[in-house]
Amino acid sequence: MPLSPEQLCLRLTREGENTVAFFSDLPEEIHHIRIYTEGDHWSIGHILRHLVQAEKAIQRLMASILGGGAGTPEDFDLDEYNERKVREIESLDLADLLADFTATRARTVSWVSERTPADLALAGRHPFLGFAPIEEMVKLLYRHTQLHQRDIRRSLNGEA
């Protein structure tokens, strides 16, 4: 059953607050610890950068689909894009990253709050989901942060 724009905004807001608290509670001196071993071998700090950049990209994608666009090109290289975008903000410190994430999430919540259920049902190509409605892209934004936080917890606890 589809979620209303209000329900999506509540989930985005709660998960955004949880994400800021999660990264704020991690000592900054451990942000260099590698969590992923594929690609650019992302650390905790890289993951936070990725979350900021990914949300900005999905905001643009959803607005494009709402405006009649088809979405991400079929030949889009998601891994290359993510690695490049993370490198672009490599110099930002934790405080700046958390402020950027908070502001970016607030823009997402504001944008979703202005949508109708019909808007959220519009579909286009997402780089991970494939052809999907905007509503599913919104849901992935808060699930995405949860998945990366789970991976960090598992790695820090010595789980595979």
CA–CA gap between residue 17 and residue 20 (Å, rounded): 5
CB 36 within 8 A of CB 105: no
Over residues 7-29, the mean pLDDT reads 97
Entry pTM: 0.94
| Confidence bin at 21 (pLDDT 50/70/90) | very high
- Unique residue bearing structure tokens 């999506």: 8
Q: For each of the domains in the chain, give its residue range(s) and CATH number, in order of start.
A: 5-156 (1.20.120.450)
At 160 the pLDDT is: 59
- Percentage of the chain lying above the pLDDT 70 cut: 99
Over residues 15-24, the mean pLDDT reads 98
φ and ψ at residue 84, rounded to 5 degrees: -65, -45
At 37 the pLDDT is: 86
In 3D, which of 86, 104, 3, 6 has the Cα closest to residue 48? 86
| pLDDT tens digit sequence for 34-91 | 999 887 789 999 999 999 999 999 999 999 999 999 999 999 999 999 999 999 999 9
Average pLDDT in the chain: 95
